[in-house]
Amino acid sequence: MSTDTALETITDRRLNALSIVLLLGAVTSILDTTIVNVALHPLSEIFHASVAATQWVSSGYLLALAGVIPLTGWAVERFGARTVWMTAIAVFLLGSVLCGVAWNLPSLIGFRVLQGIGGGMILPVTLTILTQAAGPSRLSKAMAAIMLPAQLAPILGPVIGGLIITSINWNWLFFVNVPLCIVALALAPKFLPSDVRHPGHPLDWRGFLLITPGLIALAYGISNAAQGFDALDAWLPMAVGAVLIVGFVWYALRARRSPLVDVRVFAQRSFGLASVITFVSGFSSFASMFLLPVFYQELRGDSALTTGLLLIPQGLGTIAFLGVQGRLKQLDPRILVAGGVALTMIGLLPFVFSGSSGNDVLLLVGQFVRGFGIGASMLPIMTLAFAGLARAEVPRASAAFNIVQRVGAPFGVTVVAVILQALAARGSGAAHVTAAFQTTFWWVIAFSLVPLALAFLLRKPAPAAPVVDELVLE
**Residue 474: band (very low, low, confident or very high) from pLDDT cuts 50, 70, 90:** very low
Residue 445 has a pLDDT of: 93
| pLDDT band, very low/low/confident/very high, at 422 (cuts 50, 70, 90) | confident
CATH assignment of 3-187+260-455, given 1.10.645.10, 1.20.1250.20, 3.40.50.1950, 3.40.50.620? 1.20.1250.20
On average, the pLDDT of the chain sits at: 82
User: For 176-234, how does the pLDDT look when each residue is reduced to its tens digit (9 = 90+)?
Assistant: 889 999 999 999 998 888 767 766 668 888 989 998 999 889 888 887 876 677 888 88
What residue ranges do the domains of the chain occupy? 3-187+260-455
pLDDT at 467 over 50: no
Share of the chain above pLDDT 70, in %: 88
Under DSSP, is residue 80 helix (H, G, I), strand (E, B) or coil?
A: coil
The DSSP annotation for 154-171 comes to HHHHHHHHHHHHHHS-TT
> Smallest Cα–Cα separation from 193: which of 78, 82, 79?
82
User: Amino acid identity of 146?
Assistant: I
Q: What pLDDT does 155 receive?
A: 66
Q: Is the pLDDT of residue 292 over 60?
A: yes
Sequence-distant (6+) residues with CB within 8 A of 317 are 347, 367, 368, 369, 370, 371, 372, 373, 374, 375
pLDDT at 463: 53
Note the pLDDT of residue 470: 38
Q: Which residue has the higher pLDDT, 437 or 135?
A: 437
